[in-house]
Amino acid sequence: MRSVEEQQARVAAAAVAPRPVRVAIAESQGLMCAEEVVTERPMPGFDQAAIDGYAVRSVDVLSVGDGAGEISLPVMGSIEAGARTPSRLQPRQAARVQTGAPMPTLADAVLPLRWTDGGESRVRILRSVRSGAYVRRTGDDVQPGDVAVRAGTIIGPAQVGLLAAVGRDRVLVHPRPRLSVMCVGGELVDVSRSPGTGQVYDVNSYALAAAGRDAGAEVNRVGIISTDPRELRETVEGQVNRNEIVVIAGAVGGAAAESVRTVLSELGEMEVARIAMHPGSVQGFGQLGRDRVPVFLLPANPVSALVVFEVMVRPLIRLSLGKRQPMRRMVQARTLAPISSVAGRTGYLRGQLMRDQDTGEYLVQALGGAPGASTHLLATLAEANCLVVIPSEVDEVRTGETVDVAFLAQRG
């Protein structure tokens, strides 16, 4: 039986990063930048007022507060943000300016409105101001030749804003990996139909597609596919040729799964193995097609399928996105009740993570993890906000002991 870490290493070695593409900056958020974005012009591109007030020569107001008496200056006009006509300030003059307005020639400071009487034709000065105060100088933020966004940076709101600020409307990025999700099983019907005797709804293709989007992939939910050898091969081959990752649920147990694996083996390397984890110990992984695309075979049980996706598929998606840390954030929490696990296998048990308001300590309540409880209850997975990770050498965790907990996506 292979360890979880060994299987994760095999999967990570198969990570395929899509070729970089150029996208509009509005569509780049969350993606990894694939180029060095070098600025061609300074930002800001001109000296501008950083606050509403009066543009002045600082030397003209230095004596305020030094016993020289009241100072007032004539106001030569008003300059609005976006003004395109150059203006010049004469000695012992002031100009009313808006935030972002271009500074008039000779002015080297802005007096905030609160330091004046707000006069329109003539302004009384209440405080002096130093040279450069409340002025954004040309190139204060970025100089020509500076790197605005580096290759390998995950583009967030600040990077989108900076790209816009330096005049870039498109940027080269590593796109989201394309993920195809499909299911096999003669008992499956789509949610648009009513199941007959012996039939169940196709849960996996919907749940796994949602998990793929949550991880950051561009998802194609194929749904239920035929197990006829010729049709199955055509379907899988087509998906392998147009995606970076393929997931097939329901293909690791029973005679039908055996026939699926036989067909897949014609397209490349595929291995079904027992992994030392629960739920979902039996799972498949291989690389198919001319581009050796990673293909996962997941259990038919929805809870097991989602857990295997979380532990094996999600990290691969994150690696393909360029994330330096593909795994979920882990914290330690104190258990509120006993937890039973399977000896010899790492347990990934759904739970509810809480925090003590007084001490800040994390507390966790396992869902379905008590002795004798089922590991296949989908309703409890929907209530979970974490996975409790139990080491393979542990089969019982007592109340009050500390365990590792992986955060799932935040709800609400």
- Tens-digit pLDDT profile for residues 310-356: 999 999 999 888 777 888 889 999 999 999 999 899 999 989 999 98
Structure-token pair, residue 378: 């989908």
Q: Which residue has the higher pLDDT, 235 or 325?
A: 235
pLDDT in tens, 145-184: 888 899 888 899 999 998 998 889 999 998 999 999 999 9
pLDDT at 112: 94
Mean pLDDT, range 52-71, rounded to an integer: 80
pLDDT at 196: 85
pLDDT at 390: 94
Q: How far apart are the C-alpha atoms of 45 and 35, rounded to whole Å? A: 24
Mean pLDDT, range 116-134, rounded to an integer: 91
pLDDT bucket at 384, cuts 50 / 70 / 90: confident
Query: Amino acid letter at 411?
Result: R
What domains lie within the chain, and their CATH numbers?
A: 2-16+175-319 (3.40.980.10), 27-41+146-172 (no CATH), 46-134 (2.170.190.11), 328-405 (2.40.340.10)
Mean pLDDT, range 45-50, rounded to an integer: 91
Mean pLDDT, range 90-105, rounded to an integer: 93
pLDDT in tens, 275-303: 999 999 999 999 999 989 999 999 999 98
pLDDT at 371: 41
Residue 85 has pLDDT above 50, yes or no: yes
Mean pLDDT, range 14-36, rounded to an integer: 89
List of residues 6+ apart from 201 with CB closer than 8 A: 188, 189, 190, 191, 195
Mean pLDDT, range 74-94, rounded to an integer: 91
Q: Which residue has the higher pLDDT, 259 or 230?
A: 230
pLDDT at 412: 37
Residue 372 has pLDDT above 70, yes or no: no
pLDDT bucket at 142, cuts 50 / 70 / 90: confident
Tell me whether the omega of the peptide bond preceding residue 112 falls within 30 degrees of 0, making it cis: no
pLDDT bucket at 379, cuts 50 / 70 / 90: low
pLDDT at 410: 54
Residue 133 has pLDDT above 60, yes or no: yes
Q: For residue 25, give Cα distances in angstroms to 146, 163, 172.
A: 19, 7, 9
Contact 106, 57 (CB under 8 A): yes
List of residues 6+ apart from 288 with CB closer than 8 A: 236, 240, 246, 264, 267, 268, 269, 270, 295
pTM of the model: 0.75
Handedness of CA 97, 98, 102, 103 (dihedral sign): positive
Q: What is the CA radius of gyration of the chain?
A: 31
pLDDT at 378: 61
Give DSSP secondary structure letters for 111-158: EEGGGB---SSEEEE-S---TTTTEE-TTSSB-TT-EEE-TTPBP-HH
pLDDT at 409: 63
Residue 370 has pLDDT above 50, yes or no: no
pLDDT at 71: 86
Mean pLDDT, range 51-62, rounded to an integer: 92
pLDDT at 67: 52
Average pLDDT, rounded, for the chain: 88
Residue the block writes with tokens 């099983």: 185
The strand pairing partners of 88, in sequence order, are 105
Mean pLDDT, range 49-64, rounded to an integer: 90
pLDDT in tens, 187-216: 888 888 888 888 888 999 999 999 999 999
pLDDT bucket at 375, cuts 50 / 70 / 90: very low
Q: What is the DSSP letter of 85?
A: S
Contact 333, 356 (CB under 8 A): no
Other Cβ atoms less than 10 A from the Cβ of 191: the count is 12
